[in-house]
Amino acid sequence: MRYADVHCHLSFPEFDADRDEAIARFRAAGGGLLIDPGTDPVTSRRSVELAGRYDFIYANVGLHPGEVRAPYGPELLDELAGLARADKVVGIGEIGLDYYWPGYDRDLQIGAFREMLRLAVSLDLPVVIHCRDAWPDMLRVLSEERSSTLRGAMHCFSGDLDIARQCIGLGMKISVPGTITYKRSNLPEIVASMPLEALLSETDAPYLSPVPMRGKRNEPANVTHTVRAIADARQEPLETVANSLVGNACRLFGIPLPHAAGR
């Protein structure tokens, strides 16, 4: 049995003291595939470097909506487009819309999000999308930018069942974080209502530790708790669900399955 963590910020400073140990714990727990997303050019470059050091780690290159600041120009987009062509970059992310924090600029975020969606389509790569408090604009922009090759993951999904179905209709998969283990989460109901092929598993470490690790720094080995919660909600065997989630990730991101499955 293998586990996939499709969204883990191992490149963040929270892992500077024990990055290799956290990766070793992920492997020891059955980790088969890990994807490290960038949030700006600096972290995207670090993700590419980390992916170069481990055969089961892959990178995403992106621009998080919280990092979109005026003026951002063609230089920044060119730098990201260049990084996106590096070895083992399997997606464009994280990108998206975030209207939670004060002081954001909606138009600026939407403009950058569109640029990144178009970069992904031009490179034929999937996207990894962050969406917080911005669902109407998210669904509108995704419909407007829709194309036969636009596909990806709604990372750390926080919408309701109806939004999940709309996202799937727009070519996206629902990426489930550790919040599925929280008492008032609607994720158990959502994952039970979806085909297994529509789901992915992630930690979003160092954030959002699942129960029973809540309150501590999250790390990729904890994806096992999330996958168990998905299996419980669906009333399906853990092994079936874990292996299927690895397969879903490999298909979406174009990663050879035997590689992630540990042969």
Binding mask 193-212 for Zn ion (x = CB under 5 A): -----------x--------
Q: How far is the CB of 148 from Zn ion (least distance, A)?
A: 27
Q: How far is the CB of 37 from Zn ion (least distance, A)?
A: 6
Q: How far is the CB of 202 from Zn ion (least distance, A)?
A: 8
> Measured from the CB atom, is 97 or 231 closer to Zn ion?
97
The amino acid sitting at 147 is S
> Measured from the CB atom, is 40 or 204 closer to Zn ion?
204
> Measured from the CB atom, is 5 or 204 closer to Zn ion?
204
Q: How far is the CB of 52 from Zn ion (least distance, A)?
A: 21
Q: How far is the CB of 60 from Zn ion (least distance, A)?
A: 9
Exposure class string for 16-54: b at 16+ Cβ within 10 A, else e: eeebeebbeebeeebbbbbbbbbbbbebbbbbbebbeeb
Length of the chain as a residue count = 263
Q: Crossing angle, helix 106-123 and helix 74-83, to 10 degrees? A: 40
Q: How far is the CB of 8 from Zn ion (least distance, A)?
A: 8
CB 211 within 8 A of CB 252: no
Determine the size of the site formed for Zn ion (CB under 5 A): 1
Q: State how far the Cα of 66 lies from the Cα of 252, in Å rounded to an integer.
A: 25
> Measured from the CB atom, is 23 or 128 closer to Zn ion?
128
CB atoms within 10 A of CB 185: 19
> Measured from the CB atom, is 14 or 236 closer to Zn ion?
14
Q: Which helix (H) or strand (E) holds 4?
A: strand 3-5
Quick check: helix, strand or coil at residue 122? helix
Q: State how far the Cα of 7 lies from the Cα of 39, in Å rounded to an integer.
A: 12
> Measured from the CB atom, is 210 or 243 closer to Zn ion?
210
Note the residues at the interface with Zn ion (CB under 5 A): 204
